[in-house]
């Protein structure tokens, strides 16, 4: 419930601001993340076009940065999804103005 309130506050800030979306959207116990474009069936999954990882360890512990660029040309809506080991999923709808997103160490997710 607290995460949903946090996500709604981030969305509200995004709609009233034309700057960047930033925050730690994903909680602990993360299994993976997905950036989905459009309303296709099956959905269009966007792979990061840049990635920096530490040479040892497993994702997400070895993550330095993953990036998605040139998103303004991607079909809308853009949806970011956190997938957890216990099977839960949490999503956030990204703004039409988003052109680049980055997932950084500590699982902070920023969009510009």
Enclosing domain of residue 72: 2-111
Is the distance from CB of 10 to CB of 66 less than 8 angstroms? Answer: no
Over the stretch 29-83, which tens digit does the pLDDT of each residue have?
A: 778 889 999 998 888 999 999 999 999 998 888 999 999 999 999 999 999 898 8
Give the C-alpha separation, 105 to 1, whole Å.
Answer: 25
Give the C-alpha separation, 89 to 14, whole Å.
Answer: 21
> Rg for the chain (alpha carbons), in Å?
14
pTM reported for the whole predicted model: 0.72
Q: How many domains does the chain have?
A: 1
Over the stretch 95-107, which tens digit does the pLDDT of each residue have?
A: 898 899 998 887 7
Q: What is the mean pLDDT of the chain?
A: 80
81 to each of 24, 57, 86, 103, how far by Cα in Å? 12, 23, 14, 12
């Amino acid at each position: 419930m607290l995460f949903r309130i946090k996500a709604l506050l981030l969305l509200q800030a995004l709609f009233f601001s034309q700057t960047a979306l930033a925050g730690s959207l994903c909680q602990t116990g993360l299994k993976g993340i997905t950036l989905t474009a459009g309303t296709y069936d099956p959905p269009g999954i966007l792979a990061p076009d840049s990635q920096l990882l530490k040479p040892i360890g497993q994702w997400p512990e070895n993550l330095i940065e993953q990036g998605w660029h040139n998103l303004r040309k991607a079909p809308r809506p853009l949806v970011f999804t956190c997938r957890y080991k216990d099977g839960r999923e949490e999503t956030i709808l990204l703004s039409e103005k988003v052109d680049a997103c980055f997932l950084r160490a500590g699982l902070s997710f920023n969009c510009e």
